Amino acid sequence: MSISIHGFKWFWQFFSALLKKYWTQTLLLCFTGVFQLVFDICLPFVYELIFDRAINQKDSHFLFVLLSILIVAFLIYSFAGISQDYLSSLIGAKVLRDIRLKMLHHLQNLTMRFFAETESGEVLSNFTQDLADIERVITIDIPVSFYNVLLFLSSALLLFVVEWRLALVTWIALPIGSLSSQLFGSKATQASYQRKQDEAKVISLVQETINAQAVIRNFRLQDFILGRFRQQLDILLTSSLRSNFISFLLGRFSLLNIVFIQVLIVVFGAFLAIEGNLTVGSLVGFISLLFNVNIAADALAQQLPNIIKANSSMLRLQELFTTHPMIVDHLQAVWLSIPQQEIALKNVSFSYSGQETTLHNINLTIKIGQSVAFVGPSGSGKSTILNLLTRLYEPDQGAILIDKYDIREVTQASLQSHTGIVFQDSFLFNTTIRENILLGNPDAADADIEAAAEAAEIHHTILSLPQGYDTIVGDRGGKLSGGQRQRIAIARALLRNPAILLLDEATASLDPQTEAAINTTINRLAIGRTLISVTHRLVSAIASDCIFVLDRGRLVEQGSHQELLQREGLYYRLWKTQAHLSIN
């Protein structure tokens, strides 16, 4: 049971911290539960009084008083129950909202390495299936289970007040039901956890299939994808069967134990009543209390599978929340002012996997105000340079300096405030053009947005659209052309008015005419800024003040376009190859 206890211990600490925010509603929830508990406990004794005094002594006045009190108490009991349902739903909804916010906040603080090593389906499963299971536990199972535990214990103890012999028989038989938890509890948690993992893999496959529709259709991979999906579904079928069956066994054994105790008590109680050692009212009262015990035990048995599923979800959330960001600001981190001198890489080495080195001992200097480009064959480490400059990753060895400051010693916010980046596949959010550009600087005015669009030479195109700046761009900007998406991405980067403009294959997916037009725009925008671009198309690097040539993670050449051609090294060979391909 160690897995189960560990998961609930962590979640209770996490949950109780959130619950403190809503202590007034929680207090009211407890009050409604206490009143219902008192009513359920007192009801068997009212039954005993009705049978042994009111009916036996034919006391109609006493019966009327009892029934009047019972009716009023029942009305309050009903109102308390409805209030409990509302309060538990309210608290659950608020806590789930806080958990979702904490999850997304935590995800945004994690480094790129986490997202590179984690399947997106795992994260999506945390937000969907795992939270759905936890929501049920918070809104239903925890309040109901807490109530039923109190009802079970109080009713089971009060059995001794009514008839100690029957109570003794009951308490001897009760531990039999706990054997199923001891036998199957840990196995049920492990099986449910594995099922959650398999469900996440299914979600990942579905998401991958949706994102890869163009490749699947063009290469006729439907049968291949369906085969992979069928295999994963078969794995999920096995884990689901095992998880459900073990959970049902837990509930089944608990239910059988309840029925066994009921039969046992009826037999013993009947013998005691026949022999005159127990009144009819006492027997009815005892059976009513036992009914409370059985109801509570049955409810706990029915909720056990849900609690086990939620426990697995809690363990998966614990894995997420205990994953700490690897890149954080130091306590002594300083605010980086606008760069004035240079950007330098000193003996920088880096590996994504920790095994195969991506960059080897890179040393280079970029003067502020320069326009530079990184070129080289695919996989040479060009984009990795940008990842390190923007601190999405950190060097394994060496340092990156801006004006003599190691970027690990400055705040990430200050570093990002001076940089703007345009990617090859510039992600646009499924909202308006205005809001997509505004993301570069949320405090910007409409005039600033339009000025940035003018600078990116997309303003007039936007105005020609039916909704203008309020045009919805679609999923990932799918309603716009590639050139339009790139220019909007450039406008978004410019809105920040960055001192350093970074371009990661920004024109690689465009046709030559659009690429040439955007390159002209970029070269104009580079004036007064430091422009750092990564490109495999050397024609985009011609105007750069300095070109850095990478090969297999090493800096092999640097210089202007003409200087590199005169050396007849790797750059010269790449230029000749691309020129030959363009002629053909």
Confidence of residue 334 (pLDDT cuts 50, 70, 90): very high
In angstroms, the CA 442 to CA 517 distance is: 28
- pLDDT tens-digit map of 11-30: 667 667 777 788 888 888 88
CB 548 within 8 A of CB 370: no
pTM: 0.70
How is 121-144 classified by DSSP, letter by letter? HHHHHIIIIIHHHHHHIIIIIHHH
CB 349 within 8 A of CB 362: yes
Q: Is 157 exposed, middle or buried (0-12, 13-18, 19+ CB in 10 A)?
A: middle
Is residue 218 scored above 70 in pLDDT? no
In angstroms, the CA 143 to CA 272 distance is: 38
Given the DSSP bridges, would you call strands 546-551 and 554-559 parallel, antiparallel or unpaired?
A: antiparallel
CB 213 within 8 A of CB 225: no
In angstroms, the CA 143 to CA 25 distance is: 13
DSSP alpha helix (H) spans, 352-394 = 382-389
Is residue 442 scored above 90 in pLDDT? no
Give the pLDDT score at 3: 42
In angstroms, the CA 165 to CA 160 distance is: 8
DSSP state, 57? T
Reported as type and span, the H/E element at residue 182 is helix 175-211
Is residue 562 scored above 90 in pLDDT? yes
In angstroms, the CA 217 to CA 276 distance is: 84
Two tokens, residue 217: 């259709």
Is residue 348 scored above 80 in pLDDT? yes
* Residue reference for tokens 């206490």: 34
CB 286 within 8 A of CB 264: no
* Residue reference for tokens 């991405």: 489
Give the pLDDT score at 245: 80
In angstroms, the CA 428 to CA 134 distance is: 33
φ, ψ dihedrals at 383, nearest 5°: -65, -25
CB 360 within 8 A of CB 553: yes
Is residue 311 scored above 80 in pLDDT? no
User: Quick one: which of 443, 452, 396 has its CA closest to 420?
Assistant: 452
Length of the chain: 584
Instruction: Write down all domains in the chain, each with its CATH number in brackets.
Output: 11-321 (1.20.1560.10), 335-418+500-584 (3.40.50.300), 430-497 (no CATH)
Which of 80-89, 213-222, 268-277, 295-304 has maximum average pLDDT? 80-89
Q: What's the farthest any 2 CA atoms get from each other in the chain?
A: 120
- The three-state secondary structure class of 338 is coil
The amino acid present at 102, given as its one-letter code, is K
- pLDDT tens-digit map of 104-162: 888 888 888 887 777 777 788 788 778 888 877 777 777 887 888 888 888 888 878 87
Give the pLDDT score at 1: 37
Cα-only R_g, the chain: 35
**What is the strand order of the sheet 500-504 is part of?**
419-423, 500-504, 530-534, 371-375, 546-551, 554-559
User: Which of 369-373, 482-486, 507-511 has the lowest average pLDDT?
Assistant: 507-511
In angstroms, the CA 474 to CA 478 distance is: 5
Given the DSSP bridges, would you call strands 530-534 and 371-375 parallel, antiparallel or unpaired?
A: parallel
